[in-house]
Amino acid sequence: MTSRPIGIFDSGVGGLSVLRAIHSLLPGQQTIYLADQAHVPYGPRPLDEVRAFSEVITQFLLGKGAGLIVVACNTASAAALHALRQSRPEIPFVGMEPAVKPAAESTHTGMVGILATPATFQGALYASVVERFAHGVTLLQSTCPGLVTQIEKGLLDHPETDAILHEAIDPMLAAGIDTIVLGCTHYPFVIPQIRKVAGEQVRVIDPAPAIARQAARLLAEYGWLADPLLTTDNRYYTTGDTRRFDKLAQQLLGVDIQSHPAQWAGPAGDLKIY
């Protein structure tokens, strides 16, 4: 069997937190990443709109040769994962859902904080995760308004970022949480800032390593795993500004990336990316 690349997408640079985990678990596996920065943030948008974006992006990544698709965005997973799996049963998908299960299993206080976007909290996926796993546990939710935009601007160590985190986390701490679930793939990039606000005792759950393991399991099942010793030509696309993406990716991942432009075109309802 020959290896197949992994297609990964997000509204912006958030999915790079998942890509980083995939690269560290599966060196040699080629990845094709698309950041839909023309539309970031996804969180405040209607689920239907995010689903439409996700369908077109998936088609774009498959067209570039991706075998497996990682929806490295909780919001897009909430909006589109079910529909994507239904419309393309032959394609393996890995999606994100807030890690309520491990949080509920490990909390001692029974109080868990969840940070995610408004669309993620509205989706059926979140409701089903809560129903299945949150028995006897109180979940305190925050949408952290403005946090994704701060991260997209590279303003990690910034007073406004700290203020957003305090506003989200302080009431959770007062209520006695001992666990915070990162339900948005942008947020792992501010884990040091979250720790500063929450303290070292609070457990912060970043689902990226578990997502990478799931991708590896599926690749193995399909016979698409690459030789880990191979050097790969990973590709990056953004529907936003390539220079801005490259600079931010360098800041977040510490590697030099030269992304390619991808362009939305066509009338609403018949969008395509080129």
What whole-number distance in Å separates Cα of residue 121 and Cα of residue 124? 8
Selected range binding ligand DGL among 68-76, 85-93, 154-162, 248-256, rule: CB under 6 A? 68-76
Catalytic annotation, pick one of 73, 99, 164, 215: 73
Q: Tell me if 92 contacts ligand DGL by CB under 6 A.
A: no
Q: Which residue has the tokens 């509204």?
A: 11
Name the residue nearer to ligand DGL (CB basis): 35 or 197.
35
Catalytic annotation, pick one of 184, 205, 219, 262: 184
Name the residue nearer to ligand DGL (CB basis): 173 or 262.
262
CA angle 46–102–184, rounded 5-degree value: 30
Task: Give the nearest distance from C-beta 267 to ligand DGL in angstroms.
Answer: 24
Q: Tell me if 73 contacts ligand DGL by CB under 6 A.
A: yes
Which residues inside 122-161 make contact with ligand DGL, applying CB under 6 A? 148
User: x/- binding map, residues 190-209, to ligand DGL, per CB under 6 A?
Assistant: --------------------
Contact residue for ligand DGL among 31, 37, 54, 75 (CB under 6 A): 75
Name the residue nearer to ligand DGL (CB basis): 27 or 146.
146
Neighbours of 141 (CB within 10 A): 20
Name the residue nearer to ligand DGL (CB basis): 27 or 145.
145
Contact residue for ligand DGL among 5, 7, 9, 10 (CB under 6 A): 10
Selected range binding ligand DGL among 7-15, 165-173, 234-242, 265-273, rule: CB under 6 A? 7-15
Name the residue nearer to ligand DGL (CB basis): 42 or 60.
42
Q: Tell me if 121 contacts ligand DGL by CB under 6 A.
A: no
Contact residue for ligand DGL among 3, 8, 11, 180 (CB under 6 A): 11
Where residue 17 falls (left for φ over 0; alpha for ψ -120 to 50; beta otherwise) is alpha
Q: Tell me if 185 contacts ligand DGL by CB under 6 A.
A: yes
73 is catalytic: yes
Instruction: Say if strands 138-142 and 111-115 run parallel, antiparallel, or are unpaired.
Output: parallel
Contact residue for ligand DGL among 120, 150, 161, 242 (CB under 6 A): 120
144 is catalytic: no
Q: Tell me if 20 contacts ligand DGL by CB under 6 A.
A: no
For residues 72 and 8, the answer to whether their CB atoms sit within 8 Å is yes
What residues act catalytically? Answer: 73, 184
Binding site for ligand DGL (CB under 6 A): 10-11, 14, 40-43, 73-75, 117, 120, 148, 184-186
